[in-house]
Amino acid sequence: MKGSFREDRQQNISMLTDYYEMTMGNGYLKYFGDKIAYFDAFFRRIPDGGGYAVMAGLESVVDYVSNLRFTGEDIDYLRGQKMFSEEFLEFLRDFKFTCDVWAIPEGTPVFPGEPLVTVRGPIAQAQLLETALLLLVNHQSLIATKASRIVRAADGRAISEFGARRAHGVSSALFAARSAYIAGCANTSNVMAAQEFGIPCSGTMAHSWVQMFDDEYSAFAAYAETYPDACVLLIDTYNVLKSGLPNAIKAFDEVLKPMGKRPLGVRIDSGDIAYLTKKIRARLDAAGYPDCKIVVSNSLDERIIRDTLMQGAQIDFFGVGERLVTSETEPVFGGVYKLCAVENDGEIIPKIKISENPAKITTPYFKQVYRLYERGTGKAIADVVTAYDETIDDTKPYEIFDPVYTWKRKIVTDFTARKLTQRIFDGGKLVYDLPDINEIKNYCAEQIDTLWGEVTRFENPHEYYVDLSQRIWDIKDNILKKEQYNI
């Protein structure tokens, strides 16, 4: 757990909640006391029509829960609302988190309908987590998912996250950088995020550096002299091919070469990327700098990156900002937090939400998620949502089936079953060792590599199978049939 944001600057966001969580909490204490409830956080649709999403935000959830407390000022504010009983206000004043929490680890490719986080505990406590938990997981999973798409579009070329100045607030800038790094970005330009989370930091110059000098060459020569081991020159302040590139090559020849140094790169931030980078590459090679990298920025996303590379663009490194940190093409990750069970005298009673929209019908009961992998290839076959106490025995054949089109069935053999769901808090105590950010990044890359190309393709990806165990399907089906006759 690197970084000081959690340790030194963690903001108490306990009041970052929707008002109805307070009104319900007040009522829950009156009518249900400490009755145990189960909630699932899950999402219904993958952004950008993609084939998978990337789970992120768990470390922030741990930070939030670990700092969950209400101050005297908070209590006074709520008392002034004239809505809440003194019993509820005392509950908040003496608040102690005692819930159990399970989650799928950060960096895991995840799919609609499967519980990313499950909370079990006294109903007033468990309900109270809804808004902040969703905020943290939704935002960071959204950016990690977008970053993963951008990284794949770059086809092995490095991506630097450049988006702080266009992010939607300070926290957004920080955690977008972290999420992007987890999903495969090489570094960030955000110094605070780099410091807090242990992310590599990078950056060169802005056009103002070039404009401050009497001429472009003087600006390049001064930069090369100041940073001979990290010289990347921005060559599009005036004219890329007529002045920028010739002056950059001149600075390389007259400043770096006598020092025995090689330039790291040149950067452009405007113009026809495909056309210009092909010209730049040819001239750099002819000048004796085939190792000089070409860096490109300017409102990039996965589609622009993919198209320019298809057009033969000669690019080694992409700087991606606003369209990454805002996930411009689809800026919402639609995670929800729904009651799925309660306990009566220790017995788990399933709960369901029914809707005329079938996609909004929830899956009841206390659940966990398994992922099945082919033994020969290591590729993921399907995910199975099972009851909390079920075990998938991968030494025996296992039948999976589509939970909607139930006649579509398959017997899986020669596979490995891995339980994705991990316990995070036990009775309010953190029992999960949060991994280092580089461990998460490596894990994410490894797990995305287990997905078939049909799932990861950009256009019309194959819908990855998320099946229900027979037991969970029966629980859901029985409730639906019962409710059908009660309506």
pLDDT of residue 287 exceeding 60, the answer is yes
As a residue count, the chain comes to: 487
Secondary-structure class of domain 146-325 per CATH: alpha beta
Over range 74-87, report the average pLDDT.
Answer: 97
434 and 60 in contact (C-beta within 8 Å)? no
- Residue 8's pLDDT band, with cuts at 50, 70 and 90, is very low
C-alpha 319/C-alpha 204 separation (Å) is 11
Residues 157-172 pLDDT 10s:
999 999 999 999 999 9
276 and 240 in contact (C-beta within 8 Å)? yes
- Residue 9's pLDDT band, with cuts at 50, 70 and 90, is very low
Over range 140-152, report the average pLDDT.
Answer: 98
Secondary-structure class of domain 5-143+331-486 per CATH: alpha beta
458 and 306 in contact (C-beta within 8 Å)? yes
Quick one: pLDDT at residue 484?
A: 66
What tokens does 200 get? 């590599």
Quick one: pLDDT at residue 358?
A: 86
- Residue 11's pLDDT band, with cuts at 50, 70 and 90, is low
pLDDT of residue 77 exceeding 70, the answer is yes
- Residue 205's pLDDT band, with cuts at 50, 70 and 90, is very high
- Residue 3's pLDDT band, with cuts at 50, 70 and 90, is very low
pLDDT of residue 483 exceeding 80, the answer is no
* DSSP state, residue 74: H
Cα–Cα distance list, 411 to 381, 397, 398, 400 (Å): 11, 6, 6, 6
Quick one: pLDDT at residue 335?
A: 97
User: How much of the chain, in percent, has pLDDT values that exceed 70?
Assistant: 97
Rg (CA), the chain: 26
Over range 223-235, report the average pLDDT.
Answer: 98
Work out the burial of residue 426: count CB atoms within 10 Å of its CB; fewer than 13 is exposed, 13-18 middle, 19 or more buried. Answer: middle
Over range 263-270, report the average pLDDT.
Answer: 96
142 and 334 in contact (C-beta within 8 Å)? no
In the chain, residues under CATH classification 3.20.140.10 are: 5-143+331-486
pLDDT of residue 469 exceeding 90, the answer is yes
Helix (H) or strand (E) holding 140: helix 130-153
Report the predicted TM-score, pTM, of the whole model to 2 decimal places.
0.95
- Residue 486's pLDDT band, with cuts at 50, 70 and 90, is low
Over range 218-238, report the average pLDDT.
Answer: 98
More confident residue, 1 or 421: 421
- Residue 199's pLDDT band, with cuts at 50, 70 and 90, is very high
- Residue 2's pLDDT band, with cuts at 50, 70 and 90, is very low
Residues 102-114 pLDDT 10s:
999 999 999 999 9
The torsion region of residue 260 among left (phi > 0), alpha (psi -120 to 50) and beta comes to left
C-alpha 29/C-alpha 43 separation (Å) is 29
Phi, psi of 431, deg, nearest 5: -120, 5
The amino acid present at 59, given as its one-letter code, is E
pLDDT of residue 7 exceeding 90, the answer is no
Quick one: pLDDT at residue 357?
A: 85
Over range 412-441, report the average pLDDT.
Answer: 98
CA 260 to chain centre: 42
Residues 335-354 pLDDT 10s:
999 999 999 999 999 999 99
Over range 402-409, report the average pLDDT.
Answer: 93
User: How many C-beta atoms surround the C-beta of residue 261 within 10 A?
Assistant: 16
Mean pLDDT of the chain: 95
Helix (H) or strand (E) holding 276: helix 273-286
Quick one: pLDDT at residue 473?
A: 97
Over range 411-431, report the average pLDDT.
Answer: 98
